[in-house]
């Protein structure tokens, strides 16, 4: 899907762009899930506010799907911008805002899970954290899986920060008001992490 999207961007052929959009939308739909967020799921499990049935998707799967959805939305936004129409720019901006929200939430959730995992391995957690730790272990969360996910989300997360930080100052305030941050150091740090990860987008982050 990514290859077809990049190919469409480079050729500017209407047919290829439409095929890429269709593939991206199909992939996004396939990955969509009504599951609660990762941290919310942990809290619900602890408070026993959910039933005893096992969730159809693990934390890792839910996060992976959310990252794929955000990636698809970024590609869709870029394909929209290529059309160079006012309506396309507005639509692309709206799609990018949705993608950023997903990246930001996934990045925060993964960092939180990494902190919980580190406390678990160091045996320094408090009683309240121990419940979180047990749930993390039950979900099959490992250090490798968290590092892989962080590498996957860091590319999009870092790219947003870096690109927004390079916007001219007179436009930056407006963009910030729309909900887009622009921390250049954070962007570079995240892209560096992504480039050293095992994610397929690692070469693009270098």
What confidence tens digit (pLDDT) does each residue in 55-87 have? 446 888 889 999 999 999 988 888 888 877 888
Work out the pLDDT band at 127, boundaries 50, 70, 90. low
CB 117 within 8 A of CB 32: no
CA 127 to chain centre: 30
Hunting for tokens 């892989």 — which residue is that? Answer: 148
Find the range with the poorest average confidence among 65-74, 91-100, 130-139, 143-152: 130-139
Q: What is the 3-state secondary structure (H, E, C) of 176-205?
A: HHCCCCCCHHHHHHHHHHHHCCCCCCHHHH
- Check whether 107 has a pLDDT greater than 70: yes
Q: Give the pLDDT confidence of 12-59 residue by residue, as tens digits.
A: 677 888 888 888 888 888 888 555 455 555 555 555 444 444 444 688
Structure tokens at 67: 């990252």
Specify the range with the lowest mean pLDDT, choosing from 30-34, 124-128, 152-156. 124-128
Which residue in 61, 73, 94, 59 sits closest to 27, CA to CA?
73
pTM beyond 0.75: no
pLDDT band at 99; cut points 50, 70, 90: very high
**Both tokens of residue 198?**
């095992």
Q: Mean pLDDT score of the chain, rounded to an integer?
A: 78
Q: What are the boundaries of each domain within the chain?
A: 1-100
Give residues with Cβ within 8 angstroms of 127, minimum separation 6: none
Torsion of CA 162, 168, 171, 177, to 10 degrees: 30
Q: Where are the alpha helices (DSSP H) in the chain?
A: 2-11, 14-31, 38-47, 59-82, 86-122, 127-138, 143-165, 169-177, 184-195
More confident residue, 12 or 116: 116
The total number of residues written for the chain in this structure:
206
pLDDT at 149 over 70: yes
Report the C-alpha gap between 81 and 91 in whole angstroms: 9
Q: How confident is the model at residue 189 (pLDDT cuts 50, 70, 90)?
A: very high
DSSP code, position 125 = -
Q: What is the pLDDT of residue 34?
A: 52
pLDDT at 145 over 80: yes
Give the model's pLDDT for residue 93: 85
């Amino acid at each position: 899907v990514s290859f077809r999207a990049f190919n469409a961007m480079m050729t500017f052929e209407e047919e290829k762009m439409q095929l890429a959009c269709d593939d991206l939308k199909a992939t996004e739909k396939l990955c969509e899930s009504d599951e609660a967020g990762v941290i919310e799921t942990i809290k619900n499990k602890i408070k026993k506010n959910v039933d005893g049935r096992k969730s159809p998707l693990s934390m890792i799967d839910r996060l992976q799907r959310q990252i794929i959805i955000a990636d698809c939305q970024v590609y869709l936004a870029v394909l929209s911008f290529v059309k160079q129409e006012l309506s396309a720019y507005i639509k692309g901006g709206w799609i990018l805002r949705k993608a950023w929200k997903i990246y930001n939430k996934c990045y925060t959730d993964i960092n939180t899970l990494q902190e919980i995992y580190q406390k678990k391995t160091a045996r320094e957690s408090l009683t309240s954290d121990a419940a979180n730790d047990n749930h993390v272990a039950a979900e099959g969360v490992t250090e490798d899986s968290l590092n892989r996910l962080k590498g996957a989300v860091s590319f999009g997360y870092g790219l947003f920060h870096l690109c927004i930080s390079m916007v001219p100052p007179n436009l930056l305030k407006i963009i910030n008001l729309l909900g887009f941050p622009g921390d250049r150091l954070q962007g570079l740090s995240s892209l560096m992490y992504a480039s050293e990860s095992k994610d397929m987008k690692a070469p693009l982050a270098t």
